[in-house]
Amino acid sequence: MTTIHNPAEDTASTVPATVPVPTTVPVIAAARRAEPYMRLQWTDSDTGAVGYLVVHTLRGGLATGGTRMRAGCTLSEVEDLARGMAAKTATFDLPIGGAKGGIDFDPKDPRAVGVLERFCEAMRPWIDAHWVTAEDLGVPQHLIDEVFEKLGLGQSYHAAIRRAADPAATLERVRDGLSAAVEGGFLLGDVIGGYGVAHACLATAVSWGRMPAETTVAIQGVGTMGGAAAYYLHEAGMRVTTVADAAGALYRNGGLDIPALLELRDEYGEIDRSRLPADVEQLPRAAVLSADVDILVPAAISYAITPDNSFDVRARVVVEAANAATTPEAEAMLAARGVAVLPDFVANAGAVAWAWWLLLGEVDDIPDTSFDRLRTTMHTKVARLLSAWTDHGITPRDTGRRWADDPAPITATVVIP
Ligand SMILES: NC(=O)c1ccc[n+]([C@@H]2O[C@H](COP(=O)([O-])OP(=O)(O)OC[C@H]3O[C@@H](n4cnc5c(N)ncnc54)[C@H](O)[C@@H]3O)[C@@H](O)[C@H]2O)c1
């Protein structure tokens, strides 16, 4: 294995003694650029918005992946995300392929719902038979479900649900799971992905032999993923000192009152600054990346950490809640400084894994069943990623890649009960 000198050795005094870093790290292999199975591009005749569907892999006639909407979304971004979805389904032994939808349009534009409707109508052959989609950046689950219902397709998991012997009963079962009430006034389907991210962070603290209360975290984005991750980390006693939304960063040295801040969010995951507690400091948006914390959780945009800002990162571990949060070049730079990146296809894959556990009838609408399974799975995977990193200098992405590149064979037709 090729290795490079780890500059962390030269700056050992800046690394908390209790946080192990490997003595050597491998050069990260160039990111894989396998050709996707299929790319589709659509232009909205009303607004000129452009939308994409990329199916990276189709397994058993199915592929899964959310639909995002953001101004500036590109085909190559959607390709990266579809590739990431294929890695997630393989890593979590789900019997389907990976796909992603993306629309280049501002989700706050009053015409956004119409754009999403027309995009789904254009993609109808795929969403009817092959593509199981869900929420993603700029597209909440309730909105995509409303659009599917309007199109006569029930709910965004339609392509799987229609395979059931009794699709109406399966739809009801899936809706019950998604809308099961959990503590904090949330719905299970909205928080499960963030719960998985929180446990990726908690498993990191376990690997350091640290109590949650001795560990600090900063989170970029407090929408579906970041908000839920912040909630469960706060609940577990970890100190969330810094969060950011699109409007800026918020900081409190002793730890932010996360439940109170989440109460102040609007439908776009932005916190109302006019009602902030007096002891919360407002900082520029980028301050979240350079926060002096143990763990950094990018949970907003893709490509948040680039070569331009990777040296600002002071955390010892980056936990990718956002998809494709770290560019390959930035990740190599972080690795060279002894900073591990827990890749999106493990850290945030609780969302898709749980959706499929629900579809396959392996979890139900009792939240503890889902929380227990995801917590156990995440702690096991993260422990393995981090021990390969600290013991052998193998990056978590490279270890995860071995799982992703070796999906369990599909031996029988996927049965949706
Ligand atoms: N929602 C899911 O189920 C899910 C599952 C897996 C991965 N993800 C990934 O998580 C990320 C976030 O998705 P989401 O569904 O939580 O989105 P969301 O729209 O619910 O929330 C996005 C949050 O990020 C903030 N934000 C936007 N731009 C920002 C910026 N430049 N700096 C700081 N904050 C910014 C917004 O204000 C908001 O708080 C995406 O990368 C998505 O692909 C989401």
Residue type, 382: V
Per DSSP, what are the bridge partners of residue 51?
A: 42, 103
Q: Is 270 in the pocket of ligand 1 (CB under 6 A)?
A: yes
The pLDDT of residue 33: 59
> What's at 106, amino acid-wise?
D
Evaluate: CB of 225 within 6 angstroms of ligand 1. Answer: yes
Give residues with Cβ within 8 angstroms of 365, minimum separation 6.
Answer: 173, 176, 177, 180, 188
Place of tokens 């919360």: 280
CB-ligand 1 contact for 302 (6 Å cutoff): yes
Distance 111 CA to ligand 1 centre (A): 20
Instruction: Say yes or no: CB of residue 276 within 6 Å of ligand 1.
Output: no
Q: Say how many Å lie between the CA of residue 304 and the centre of ligand 1.
A: 11
Cβ 348 under 6 angstroms from ligand 1: yes
Q: What is the number of the ligand 1 atom nearest to the C-alpha of 138?
A: 19
Residue pair 192/374 in contact (Cβ under 8 Å)? The answer is yes
Reduced to 3 states (helix: H, G, I; strand: E, B; else coil), residue 245 is strand
- From the number of C-beta atoms within 10 Å of its C-beta (0-12, 13-18, 19+), residue 35 rates as exposed
For 105-195, where are the E strands, in sequence order?
Answer: 131-132, 181-182, 186-187
Q: Please list the pLDDT of the chain residue by residue as tens digits (417 residues).
A: 223 333 333 333 333 445 555 544 443 444 445 899 999 999 999 999 999 999 999 999 999 999 999 999 999 999 999 999 999 999 999 999 999 999 999 999 999 999 999 999 999 999 999 999 999 999 999 999 999 999 999 999 999 999 999 999 999 999 999 999 999 999 999 999 999 999 999 999 999 999 999 999 999 999 999 999 999 999 999 999 999 999 999 999 999 999 999 999 999 999 999 999 999 999 999 999 999 999 999 999 999 999 999 999 999 999 999 999 999 999 999 999 999 999 999 999 999 999 999 999 999 999 999 999 999 999 999 999 999 999 999 999 999 999 998 777 777 778 899
DSSP symbol at 198: H
* β 38-43/67-69 pair status: unpaired
Residue of 89, 116, 188, 225 best suited for mutating to test ligand 1, as the one with most atoms within 8 Å of CB:
225
In this structure, which residue's CA is closest to atom 4 in ligand 1? 136
The alpha carbon of 13 and the centre of ligand 1 are apart by a number of angstroms equal to 34
Q: Which of 103, 105, 224, 296 is the pocket-test mutation for ligand 1 (most atoms within 8 Å of CB)?
A: 224
Structure-block tokens of residue 234: 């706060």
| DSSP letters for 365-403 | S-HHHHHHHHHHHHHHHHHHHHHHHHHH---HHHHHHHH
CB 81 within 8 A of CB 349: no
Can you spell out the DSSP letters for 47-72?
A: T--EEEEEES--BTTBEE--EEE-TT
Q: 222: buried, middle or exposed (CB in 10 Å: 19+, 13-18, 0-12)?
A: buried
Mutation choice for ligand 1 from 133, 220, 245, CB with most ligand atoms inside 8 A: 245
Residue 155 to residue 151: CA distance in whole angstroms: 10
Could you say which DSSP state residue 103 is in?
E
Residue 384 to residue 183: CA distance in whole angstroms: 30
Instruction: Give residue 58 CA to ligand 1 midpoint distance, Å.
Output: 26
* Helix-then-strand count for the chain, H and E: 14, 17
Residue 220: CB within 6 Å of ligand 1?
yes
Give the residue carrying structure tokens 């002071």.
314
The per-residue pLDDT for 161 is 97
Tell me the angle at which helices 367-392 and 396-404 cross, rounded to the nearest 10 degrees.
Answer: 120
Does residue 243 contact residue 298 with C-beta atoms inside 8 Å?
no
Q: Which two tokens stand for residue 283?
A: 């900082």
CB-based burial label for 377 (10 Å; 0-12, 13-18, 19+): buried
Encoding tokens for residue 411? 């031996």
Amino acid letter for position 386: L
Tokens of 57: 């892999």
> Among the atoms of ligand 1, which is closest to the Cα of residue 139?
19
Query: For residues 258 and 270, what is the distance between their CA atoms, to the nearest angstrom?
Result: 13
Sign of dihedral through CA atoms 356, 358, 363, 365?
Answer: positive
pTM: 0.91
Of 136, 187, 342, the residue with max ligand 1 atoms within 8 A of its CB, to mutate for a pocket test, comes to: 136
Closest C-alpha to ligand 1, atom 18: 223
Return the pLDDT at 15.
Answer: 35
